[in-house]
């Protein structure tokens, strides 16, 4: 999520109290310790940690560097939710009397106090082959010609500072630690969506593997926690869309998703009963028979015939075909929302064409729409 308006820095002093989960790697001991400090009113959580480390307890370990939300060092949990310490202004919390509990990020092993082992995180990033693969093109003399609109497709994914806040909260990864996770998949989308990268199909095949795209449980914690507005869940959805568009749809997750589409354009409502065999295949469906019968006894397995058809279903069918004609397929169909650059036109393969007047420096822009 993007920033909210914080209070302006003043020149008063406030009392800030924190509880921090200390962890001593050498002894294995864990302890929740309380600290109370006096601090200027403009402090962030990171500033408070600095005051504690300087003046109260030099053994407190945490990462930091830029203190301006760009390096990604200071990810940690406050009351169980991952935040960037340098972005978290303490004024309102301190004034309310709340004493937050600070702990290390989730889903990553703790090394000491608030320092986690990011090696598994980086391992998954590397797994995505996160470098541009321009294919067999001849080296160019100058820059490749790419329109701003084409670059906008990956605008959000390119914002990622690799802080780990999304990974910290990922419900799927908590249950399956091998899940690639939101940061890695968003990085993958950064390349799949980059018109200059020619390895789309290879990447999509890779990301569709076990522990990949279709492992995402859609809890939206990553979107909620990301301090930069990357929206990793949306990036994963874009990967799913692009996979299906490019015919990389062998995963059960993809089949599951496609059955919803098929249902909507044939009967309008989800054809629930057929979902299992369509997603998991007939063999698995047969294995699930005992389970299915238990559900059926309660009426939870609606008979597939007669199908429950919505009124005016032809509209839905016609919409499907109309939309396919207009061709906003795959990742491009997913609207980015927010910011002026949320407008994604149909991207053409060749050089850029645009109908929007480009705002130029030095020339007074038209009045803001607000």
Partner 1 sequence: MEAKHDVLIVGAGCAGMRAAIEAHDAGADVALLSKIHPVRSHSGAAEGGINAALGNASEDSPEEHAYDTVKGSDYLGDQDAIEILCQEAPDDVYQLEHWGAVFSRTDDGRIAQRPFGAAGAPRTAYAADITGHVLVHVLYEQVMKRDIRTYEEFFAWKLVMNDDRCQGVIAWDLLDGGLKSIGAKTVILTTGGAGRLYVGTTNAYACTGDGMALALRVGVPLKDMEMMQFHPTTLAPTGVLITEGTRGEGAYLLNSEGERFLTRYAPNAMELASRDVISRAEQTEIDEGRGINGNVMLDLRHLGAEKILERLHGTRELSMTFAGVDPIYEPIPVRPGAHYHMGGIDTDVWGLTEVEGLYAAGECACVSVHGANRLGGNALMETITFGKRVGHHAADWALANTTVEVPPSVEADAERELKELLDRGEGERPWSIRDELAESMHENFGVFRREDQMRKQGEIVDSLRERYERVIVEDKGNVFNNDLTQALELGFLLELAACMVPCGIERKESRGAHARPHDYPNRDDENYLRHTLVTMQDGRPQVDWKPVTMTKWQPQERTY
Partner 2 sequence: MKRVAYYKGCLASLSAKELDSSTKALAPKVGLELVELDAVTCCGAGDIHEAEPDYYLHLNARILAYAEAEGCDMLLTVCNVCTLNLRQANWQLKNDEELRDRVSKNLQRVGAPPYSGGVEVRHLLWEIAEGEGYELLKKSAHRGLKGLKIAPFYGCQILRPSKLLGFEDPDRPWSLERIIEACGGEAIDYPAKVKCCGFPIIQAREETALGELIQPIEQAKEAGADALVTPCPLCHLSLDAWQSKLKESTGKDFQMPILHLSQLVGVAAGLDESELKFKRHVVSVTPVLEKLEV
282 binds partner 2 (CB under 8 A): no
Q: Pick from 78, 158, 219, 285: which binds partner 1 (CB under 8 A)?
A: 158
175 binds partner 2 (CB under 8 A): yes
- Which of 23-31, 75-83, 233-241, 248-256 is the region at the interface with partner 1 (rule: CB under 8 A)? 23-31
Phi, psi values for residue 353, rounded to 5°: -130, 140
Cα 116 to Cα 12, 23, 61, 105: the distances in Å are 34, 11, 10, 7
198 binds partner 2 (CB under 8 A): no
By a kind-dependent CB cut-off of 5 to 8 A, residue 326 interacts, out of partner 1, partner 2, none, with partner 2
Q: Which among 197, 225, 236, 262 has a CA at the least distance from the CA of 106?
A: 225
64 binds partner 2 (CB under 8 A): no
When the beta carbons of 42 and 269 are compared against partner 2, the nearer one is: 269
Residues 209-268 that bind partner 2 (CB under 8 A): 214-221, 223-224, 231, 233, 237, 240-241, 244, 251-254, 256-261, 263-265, 268
When the beta carbons of 73 and 172 are compared against partner 2, the nearer one is: 172
348 binds partner 2 (CB under 8 A): no
202 binds partner 1 (CB under 8 A): no
By a kind-dependent CB cut-off of 5 to 8 A, residue 224 interacts, out of partner 1, partner 2, none, with partner 2
By a kind-dependent CB cut-off of 5 to 8 A, residue 301 interacts, out of partner 2, partner 1, none, with partner 2
- Total residues interacting with partner 1, rule: CB under 8 A: 83
Distance CA 120, CA 106 (A): 13
**Number of neighbouring beta carbons within 10 Å of residue 308:** 14
Distance CA 228, CA 72 (A): 10
289 binds partner 1 (CB under 8 A): no
129 binds partner 2 (CB under 8 A): no
Residues 328-357 that bind partner 1 (CB under 8 A): 339-341, 351-352, 354
334 binds partner 2 (CB under 8 A): yes
Q: Pick from 15, 32, 36, 65: which binds partner 1 (CB under 8 A)?
A: 65
67 binds partner 1 (CB under 8 A): yes
Phi, psi values for residue 110, rounded to 5°: -85, 135
Phi, psi values for residue 290, rounded to 5°: -60, -45
CB 11, min distance to partner 2, A: 31
343 binds partner 2 (CB under 8 A): yes
When the beta carbons of 117 and 178 are compared against partner 1, the nearer one is: 117
Q: Pick from 323, 351, 352, 359: which binds partner 2 (CB under 8 A)?
A: 323
Q: Pick from 28, 299, 337, 366: which binds partner 1 (CB under 8 A)?
A: 366
When the beta carbons of 126 and 294 are compared against partner 1, the nearer one is: 126
The residue to which tokens 């480009």 are assigned: 358
130 is written with which tokens? 């996160």
Cα 227 to Cα 160, 168, 185, 235, 326: the distances in Å are 9, 13, 17, 15, 35
296 binds partner 1 (CB under 8 A): no
- Which of 140-148, 204-212, 259-267, 296-304 is the region at the interface with partner 1 (rule: CB under 8 A)? 140-148
Q: Pick from 19, 78, 120, 134: which binds partner 1 (CB under 8 A)?
A: 134
Q: Measure the CA dihedral 129/135/136/140, to 10°.
A: -100
**Do 192 and 129 touch, CB atoms closer than 8 A?**
no
CB 249, min distance to partner 2, A: 9
**Do 179 and 214 touch, CB atoms closer than 8 A?**
no
- Which of 139-147, 239-247, 271-279, 318-326 is the region at the interface with partner 1 (rule: CB under 8 A)? 139-147
């Amino acid at each position: 999520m993007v920033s909210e308006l914080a209070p302006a820095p003043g020149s008063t002093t406030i009392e800030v109290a924190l509880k921090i989960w200390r962890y001593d790697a050498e002894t294995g001991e864990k302890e929740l310790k309380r600290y109370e400090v006096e601090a200027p009113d403009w402090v962030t959580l990171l500033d408070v940690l600095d005051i504690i480390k300087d003046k109260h307890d030099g053994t407190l370990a945490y990462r930091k560097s830029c203190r301006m939300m760009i390096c990604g060092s200071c990810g940690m949990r406050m009351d169980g939710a991952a935040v960037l310490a340098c972005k978290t202004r303490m004024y309102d919390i301190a004034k309310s009397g709340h004493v937050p509990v600070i702990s290390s990020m989730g889903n990553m092993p703790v090394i000491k106090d608030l320092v986690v082992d990011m090696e598994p995180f980086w391992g998954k990033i590397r797994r995505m082959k996160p470098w541009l693969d321009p294919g067999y093109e001849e080296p160019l003399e100058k820059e490749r010609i790419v329109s701003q609109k084409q670059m906008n497709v990956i605008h959000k994914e390119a914002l990622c500072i690799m802080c780990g806040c999304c990974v910290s909260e990922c419900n799927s990864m908590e249950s399956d630690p091998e899940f690639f996770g939101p940061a890695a998949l968003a990085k993958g989308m950064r390349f799949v969506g980059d018109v200059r990268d020619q390895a789309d199909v290879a990447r999509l095949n890779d990301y569709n593997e076990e522990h990949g795209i279709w492992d995402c449980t859609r809890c939206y914690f990553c979107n909620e926690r990301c301090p930069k507005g990357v929206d990793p869940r949306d990036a994963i959805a874009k990967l799913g869309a692009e996979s299906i568009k490019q015919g990389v749809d062998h995963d059960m997750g993809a089949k599951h998703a496609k059955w919803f589409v098929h249902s909507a354009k044939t009967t309008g409502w989800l054809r629930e009963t057929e979902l299992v065999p369509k997603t998991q295949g007939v063999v698995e469906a047969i294995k699930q028979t005992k389970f299915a019968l238990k559900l059926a006894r309660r009426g939870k397995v609606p008979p597939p015939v007669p199908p429950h058809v919505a009124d005016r279903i032809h509209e839905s069918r016609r919409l499907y075909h109309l939309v396919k004609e207009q061709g906003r397929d795959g990742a491009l169909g997913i609207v980015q929302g927010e910011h002026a650059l949320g407008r994604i036109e149909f991207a053409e393969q060749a050089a850029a064409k645009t109908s929007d007047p480009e705002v130029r420096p030095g020339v007074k822009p038209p009045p803001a729409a607000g």
